[in-house]
Amino acid sequence: MAMADASYRAIRESAAITRMDHVQLARFTGADARVALERLCAGYVRARDGQLQHVLLLRQDGRCLADAYVLCDDDEFDLLAEGIDADALIAHARAHVPENLDVEIADRSRSHVILAVDGPFAWELVSRVAGAESIGLPYLTFFKVDGVTCYRAGKTGEFGFGFLLPREREDEFATRLRDAGRGLDLGAGTLDALDQCALENLFFNIRREGRLEATPLELQLQWRVAYDSDGLGVHALRVARAKPLLRRLTTLVSPGTLRVDDAVGLDGERVGTIVNAGWSESRNDCVALAMMDIAWAHPGIAELTVGDTSTRSVSGPVLNNRSLFVSPQMHSYATRAEIEAPPLVRV
C-alpha cells in the first residue's frame, strides 16, 4: 500500500482524480436494448432515463464475471464494467444476447474515457467544473454538461463522481479539473487506493474476492440478483440456493499484516481463508475479507488467529467516513476544521 498512500489520503481527506482504465464501456441501442441487458445481468434493469443501476454479470455457472453499472440515457444504455477486458465484454454480450433481438452492441472503450473524482470534498471540485447543480445530484443519477456525462456513484464510501467523455477531450477536461482543484489539495488517484477504500467500506471487488470459485450467495451479493429473472447464470444460482450454504465472506481486522491465502484459525482448527487484505492507514491496522466456514461467518468473534497474529471478525464498513458528516450546503475544504464528526475508526 506504500505507493498508494498519497492517493489514499487524498480520497479520504480531500479529493482525488483517477483515470478509470479498469472500466470498460459498451453501448446498447435499439428497441430491445433493455431486454438484451437483462439477458446479461443477474436481474432486471430498472434504471430510468437519467439513472444508473449497480448490476452483476454472471457466468453460466453462477460465478461473477463483471461488476458493472448500467447507465440509462433515454432509450440507450451504457454498460460500465469492471473485471473484464473490452474485447471479452463485447464478445460475451454478443454471444449471449439472442439473435432475434433488435439491439446493437458497440464498444466505447476505445472512444471514451472515465475520469473519477472521489473524496469528502469531491463535490466542491465537481461543482466548480459542472456547475452548482451537481452538488445536489442524487446517488446513481447523472446529467450532461457541455457534451460530458457527469454521474454520481463510487465505491470508496466518500462522495464520488464520474465524468464520461470522448478521449479526444480528455487532456482539456483533465486540465480543467486540475485547475479547478487549486486549494483543495487535489491528489492523483490509483486503482490500489480505490481498492483499499472499497475494502474498508465493504464494496465488492471483482478483481479480488470476485475471482474466487464462489457465487453471489457466498459473496453476500444476493441483493443484486432477481431469482425470477432469465439472466445468464441465475438458473445456476437458483439450484445452488436450494442447498445449504457452507461458507460466506466475512470482514476481519487485525493489528498484524494479513495476506491473501492465509489460513484463519480458531482453537487450532482452520475455519477460513483470507481472500482480500490491505493495510488501513486510517485505522492503523489491517482490514481483510475472509471466506469463512458458515458457522463462523459472522461478526463478533474475537479469538480468531492468522498464524501468530490475533484477528477478529467485525461488521463493515470499518470507518466513519468524513463524507458522512460533510454538508455541501454548509462546509468547504477551506473550513474543514470546523466540521464536527465522531472518531474516524469504528471499533
- More confident site: 16 or 343: 16
> For residues 312 and 290, what is the distance between their CA atoms, to the nearest angstrom?
11
| 81 lies in the same domain as 203 | no
pLDDT in tens, 101-155: 999 999 999 999 999 999 999 999 999 999 998 999 999 999 999 999 999 999 9
Find cell 461473477 and name the residue: 64
User: pLDDT above 70 covers what percent of the chain?
Assistant: 98
| 134 lies in the same domain as 61 | yes
| 164 lies in the same domain as 232 | no
| 77 lies in the same domain as 185 | yes
> For residues 132 and 150, what is the distance between their CA atoms, to the nearest angstrom?
13
Q: Are strands 269-280 and 285-293 parallel, antiparallel or unpaired?
A: antiparallel
- If one counts the domains in the chain, the total is 2
> For residues 54 and 151, what is the distance between their CA atoms, to the nearest angstrom?
13
Under a CB-based contact definition with an 8 Å cutoff, are residues 26 and 136 in contact? Answer: no
Mean pLDDT taken over the chain: 96
**Which CATH number goes with the domain that contains 224?**
2.40.30.110
> For residues 240 and 30, what is the distance between their CA atoms, to the nearest angstrom?
34
DSSP state of 62: S
| 183 lies in the same domain as 269 | no
Is pLDDT at 201 greater than 80 in this prediction? yes
| 171 lies in the same domain as 290 | no
Q: Quick one: average pLDDT of 320-333?
A: 95
| 37 lies in the same domain as 174 | yes
Q: Quick one: average pLDDT of 316-331?
A: 94
Last residue of a domain, one of 193, 218, 252: 193
* Total Cβ atoms within 10 A of residue 60: 11
Q: Is residue 264 part of a domain?
A: yes
Q: Is residue 330 part of a domain?
A: no
Q: How far is CA 217 from CA 118, 214, 236, 294, in A?
A: 29, 8, 11, 12
Under a CB-based contact definition with an 8 Å cutoff, are residues 282 and 13 in contact? Answer: no
Amino acid 220: pLDDT: 97
| 222 lies in the same domain as 257 | yes
| 134 lies in the same domain as 262 | no
pLDDT in tens, 231-249: 999 999 999 999 999 999 9
Q: How far is CA 67 from CA 36, 41, 277, in A?
A: 17, 10, 19
Q: Compute CA 227 distance to the chain's CA centroid, rounded to the nearest angstrom.
A: 23
Phi, psi at 180, each rounded to 5°? -70, -20
Phi, psi at 333, each rounded to 5°? -65, -35
Last residue of a domain, one of 139, 159, 193: 193
**Which CATH number goes with the domain that contains 167?**
3.30.1360.120
- Residue 315's identity, in one-letter code, is S
Query: pLDDT grade, residue 344 (50/70/90)?
Result: confident
pLDDT in tens, 44-102: 999 999 999 999 999 999 999 999 999 999 999 999 999 999 999 999 999 999 999 99
pTM for the whole thing?
Answer: 0.95
| 67 lies in the same domain as 214 | no
Amino acid 346: pLDDT: 66
Q: Quick one: average pLDDT of 293-319?
A: 97
Q: Is residue 209 part of a domain?
A: yes
Q: Is residue 346 part of a domain?
A: no
Is pLDDT at 4 greater than 50 in this prediction? no
pLDDT in tens, 282-303: 999 999 999 999 999 999 999 9
Amino acid 89: pLDDT: 98
| 141 lies in the same domain as 227 | no
Amino acid 1: pLDDT: 40
Q: Would you list the DSSP string of 109-120?
A: TTTEEEEEEEST
> For residues 258 and 191, what is the distance between their CA atoms, to the nearest angstrom?
20
Q: Break the chain down into helix, strand, coil percent, rounded to 5.
A: 30, 30, 40
Under a CB-based contact definition with an 8 Å cutoff, are residues 108 and 76 in contact? Answer: no
Q: Quick one: average pLDDT of 24-33?
A: 98
Q: Is residue 309 part of a domain?
A: yes
Amino acid 343: pLDDT: 86
Q: Which domain holds residue 8?
A: 2-193
Q: Is residue 277 part of a domain?
A: yes
Is pLDDT at 3 greater than 70 in this prediction? no
Last residue of a domain, one of 160, 193, 226: 193
Q: Is residue 234 part of a domain?
A: yes
Q: Is residue 342 part of a domain?
A: no
Amino acid 2: pLDDT: 41
Is pLDDT at 162 greater than 60 in this prediction? yes
| 182 lies in the same domain as 84 | yes
